[in-house]
Amino acid sequence: MIFIVLVLLFCASLALWNKMKPRPPSPPVHPGALPLIGHAHQFYGDPKHLWEFVTKLSHFSLKSGGVSEIWMGPHIMYMITDPDDFMTVSTKCMDKPYFYKFATEMFQNGLITASLTTWKTHRRLLNPSFNLQVLTSFIPEFNTQARNLVVSLQSEVGKESFNVHHYLIKQLLKTVCQTSLGLATEDKSIDVDYANATEDLFAILAERFTRIYLHLSSTYAWSSLKTKQDQLLKITRGIMNKIIYRRKEELKMGSKTENGTSAKVVKFEPLLNQLLELADTQDAFTDDEIREHVNTIVAAAYDTTASSITFALILLGTYPEVQNRVYKEIQTVLGDEDLTKDNLPKLVYLEAVVKETLRLYPSSPCVARRIDSDVKLKNYTLRSGTTCLLSIYGIGRHSMWGADADQFKPERWLDPSALPSNPNAFCNFGIGKRDCIGRVYAMLAIKTMLVHVLRKYIVFGDVNSIKAQLTISFKPATTSQLRLELRS
């Protein structure tokens, strides 16, 4: 009997191994695959290990002509680092792969995890809330919150290196809550508890992805991770439901508010108000869908933006000559004035610094698509029923950026002739129709925070000493990140 079981297991192993074997023309397979589990064992580990492995996958793909193959058990995944193939997949495949469903209990019909049909309808309804005119109305609030950040950092002046990411998370959560939810400055409805719960949920999603046996819903349902996830979701849903209910009641009473207090003139229309109005006038969203969209936008916005600003400050601390040039530009363009929609375009070098930071340290280093039918690339055909990982990190390190692709050189953005001719070279907010709806919001928030911090402080850092980690977003694992001194 035991012999028969062993024979059957051996035959099943051979069948799966044969299925996983490359078929011509097939991309190079990443080294280290094992029978049955493929490369799953190489993903396994903590967030620091996951980041290290994702960088290895990206560099192997770059060396292999821009496409490589990975096996997550019997499931085939492709890693794309070629800009043209990146665009092909982004255009032809807009649905998300199975492991995005791990986040559906948290975000459900939010733009990141929604099915293609739902995404198309909801994206069209949400687009007007993210146009330039609406977003530039947030700039005064961005200035206010950036000044608050400067005050909170005062306690770190002259001390040893500290965790600036922690400060940014707290301040950007307040910023997003005011602009997206319309909360008053003193409103503590969303605070550190929400941020910590969201961070833990992101870590759970990443841990589930790295453990192939938890990909099955039946297995995951019995795990301690699922129990912890349910507890955290209860916290985030409870907080958001209360806010939505309260705002609905305020709007029913006809009391539009400015940051929580009655006002005749509203500086800006919070996203939540716009969603509730669409629900009321067009029956566009249910209460659950409103919560899902707001949850998605709040969680994605403050977390990724905080990471981008953290790396920008570390890089500026590493390269004092770049920091000095940014500071001089700020003084020349703004003087003592706040950032406005009129003077913002004049901060050309600051824009270059931000783009160069995003190129080297993308807050979302990979996005993924489901391959529903065979997709013909330049050199290979991606097979139907597989998954494609689109490496934003890999595109940023592509040889088209030149021999100095790994170096931090903001000056490259000042000369269009020095930039890659490929229009898909900068894809940090995605490309194609399913790109990031919040790209303008993120850029405005990043620039405003940097302007106010650099006006007040000289920053010191060493990017080479920073270890990174990957959960849902890419961020520093090292807590000693920056040192501050007051500007004279």
3-class SS at 297?
helix
The C-alpha atoms of residue 472 and residue 299 are separated, in whole angstroms, by: 11
The C-alpha atoms of residue 438 and residue 176 are separated, in whole angstroms, by: 11
- Residue 1 CB coordination number (10 Å): 5
The C-alpha atoms of residue 381 and residue 373 are separated, in whole angstroms, by: 10
Task: Give per-residue burial for 390-413: e unless 16+ CB within 10 Å, then b.
Answer: bbbbbbbbbeebeeebeebbbebb
Q: Is 194 left (phi over 0), alpha (psi -120 to 50) or beta?
A: alpha
The helix (run of H) or strand (run of E) holding residue 30 is none
The C-alpha atoms of residue 109 and residue 123 are separated, in whole angstroms, by: 11
What's the Cα-to-Cα distance from 470 to each of 40, 72, 143, 206, rounded to whole Å?
Answer: 17, 18, 30, 8
The helix (run of H) or strand (run of E) holding residue 230 is helix 224-252
The C-alpha atoms of residue 473 and residue 47 are separated, in whole angstroms, by: 10
177 is in an annotated binding site: no
Q: What is the DSSP string of 436-486?
A: -TTHHHHHHHHHHHHHHHHHHEEEE--GGG--EEESSSEEE--S--BEEEE
Q: Of 479, 480, 474, which is closest to residue 48 (Cα–Cα)?
A: 474
Count how many residues are written for the chain: 488
Tokens 């003084």 correspond to 331
Cα four-point dihedral sign 163, 164, 170, 172: negative
- Are the C-beta atoms of 168 and 149 separated by less than 8 Å? yes
Give CA angle at 107 (41, 424), nearest 5°: 70
Tokens of residue 202, six digits: 């992101």
- Residue 23 CB coordination number (10 Å): 9
What's the Cα-to-Cα distance from 161 to each of 15, 166, 452, 486, rounded to whole Å?
Answer: 55, 13, 20, 14
Binding positions are 436
Q: Which residues are annotated as a binding site for heme?
A: 436
